[in-house]
Amino acid sequence: MSKSQKDTKKEPNDIRIGMRSRPRNVIKYSTSVMDELKLTEIKFSAVGGSIGRLLDIVEVLKVLKPGLYQQNRITSVAYQTVDSNNKLLTQKLYPKLEVVLSKEEPKNKTEGYQGQMDEKDRKQIETIMNKKKEDREKNRGEKTGRGRGTPRGRGRVKRGGFRGRGRGRGRGFGGRPRRGRGSPRGNMRGRGNPRGNQRGTNRGQRGSTAPRGNRGRGS
């Protein structure tokens, strides 16, 4: 883009809508500007694909803030690509929409002028918007009550499977005690472990438990 832009101070009521702009945040900011700063008008602008988002924001604001006047202006913006010698390579034109919402009736009315919304129509649209909002909050509450939509049974451990992370003392596969500080040594050696019995007899009890036939046999 070869167009040089000067640093200008942006006014609080000058709002530019982009593809990443969230309508909910823009609407909240716009209402706070009109209520807290006591400004009578707000200027919006959008280019290309963000124009549809701008129109949605404007329609919602006209319902939330009754008695607003609207003026639209459509222009075009040129985006150019140049090389190192400032020679024009490509140029693309994009539509640009500018919308001004004001509490006071404008003196100079353009072709895109729209008057105040009919109060009966505004009430009907407001009722529909409130109903949709209640449904969204209800569905959100049901999802959070079920653990944010996690499937049932997730995270459960079947019986006989691995219990614990394997680092706890005294636990292993199927909840059996591990050999170590978490369980007595006698349980590991005395139950179904013939090697434990042999080791016990070899330590200090060889003379009393060995067969008699072996006694006295030497050279």
Structural domain contains residue 31:
yes
How much of the chain, in percent, has pLDDT values that exceed 70? 62
Residue with tokens 């803030």: 65
Structural domain contains residue 19:
yes
Domain tally for the chain?
1
Q: Which H or E run includes 35?
A: helix 23-36
Structural domain contains residue 143:
no
What does the CA dihedral 57, 58, 64, 67 come to, rounded to 10 degrees?
A: 170
- E strands in the chain: 14-17, 41-47, 69-82, 88-102, 112-114
Structural domain contains residue 194:
no
Determine contact, residues 78/106, Cβ cutoff 8 Å: no
Structural domain contains residue 85:
no
Structural domain contains residue 36:
yes
* CATH label of the domain that carries residue 73: 3.30.110.20
Q: Where in the sequence is the domain holding 67, given as residue range(s)?
A: 14-80+90-124
Structural domain contains residue 64:
yes
Q: Which amino acid is at 106?
A: P
Query: pTM of this prediction?
Result: 0.58
146, burial (CB in 10 Å: exposed 0-12, middle 13-18, buried 19+): exposed
Condensed to tens digits (0 to 9), the pLDDT of residues 155-184 reads 554 555 445 554 545 454 455 555 555 545
Condensed to tens digits (0 to 9), the pLDDT of residues 44-68 reads 999 999 999 999 999 999 999 999 9
